[in-house]
């Protein structure tokens, strides 16, 4: 069941899967950088967050190179980026571990951006969403590709109150940058 208005302020969890990464020979997974497409798509993700009026108060970012580069390129699209915390627990985390990290966020944060990896992010979105607008849940179930953004909204007095099935999936965006000619 989705928490109703009056149960606390409106909070948003914005989930961003890192942009497309490269697969250079001999480079450990954690150190893989963005591919050229990822370097185009990450700024598009930042612009999409502006257009959707989903700029965060705080960002939590995986320590993987591709996630950090996604953050840098996306947040460069904003006037003043919010604070970011790079958290090694977000790398290769499952939905339960990701939710545990979210539960630690200060109640002063109303919009939180989480930048990480699949399958954990997709599983987290599907676990938290009690319902979705239009066909957003089907979109996420079908595919949550690189540079995908999911916006979950819920009412709560703290992030610790966010639980499975309590959020509404209000939007899904797959950010794509334009190819150079």
Residue 1, pLDDT score: 39
- Segment 16-42, tens digit of pLDDT: 999 999 999 999 999 999 999 999 999
Task: Give residue for tokens 């990464």.
Answer: 21
Which residues have C-beta within 8 Å of that of residue 41, sequence separation ≥ 6?
19, 20, 146, 147, 175, 176, 177
Bridge partners (DSSP) listed for residue 150: 15, 172
Under CATH, to which class is 10-22+29-174 assigned?
A: alpha beta
CA distance 64 to 66: 6
Task: Give residue for tokens 């969890």.
Answer: 13
CA distance 120 to 123: 5
Residue 5, pLDDT score: 43
The model carries a pTM of 0.94
How many other CB atoms sit within 10 Å of the CB of residue 144? 22
- Segment 87-103, tens digit of pLDDT: 999 999 999 999 999 99
CA distance 81 to 33: 22
């Amino acid at each position: 069941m989705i928490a109703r208005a009056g149960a606390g302020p409106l909070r948003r969890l914005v989930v961003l899967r890192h942009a497309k990464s490269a697969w250079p020979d001999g480079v450990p997974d954690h150190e893989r950088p963005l591919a050229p497409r990822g370097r185009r798509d990450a700024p598009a993700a930042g612009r999409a967050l502006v257009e959707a009026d989903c700029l965060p108060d705080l960002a939590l970012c995986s320590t993987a190179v591709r996630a950090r580069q996604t953050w840098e390129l996306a947040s460069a699209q904003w006037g003043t980026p919010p604070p970011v915390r790079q958290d090694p627990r977000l790398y290769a985390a499952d939905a339960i571990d990701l939710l545990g990290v979210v539960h630690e966020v200060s109640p002063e944060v109303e919009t939180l951006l989480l930048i990480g990896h699949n399958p954990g992010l997709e599983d987290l979105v599907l676990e938290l969403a009690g319902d979705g607008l239009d066909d957003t849940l089907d979109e996420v179930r079908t595919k949550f590709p690189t540079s995908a953004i999911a916006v979950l909204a819920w009412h709560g007095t703290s992030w610790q109150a966010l639980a499975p099935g309590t959020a509404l999936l209000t939007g899904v965006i797959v950010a794509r940058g334009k190819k150079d000619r």
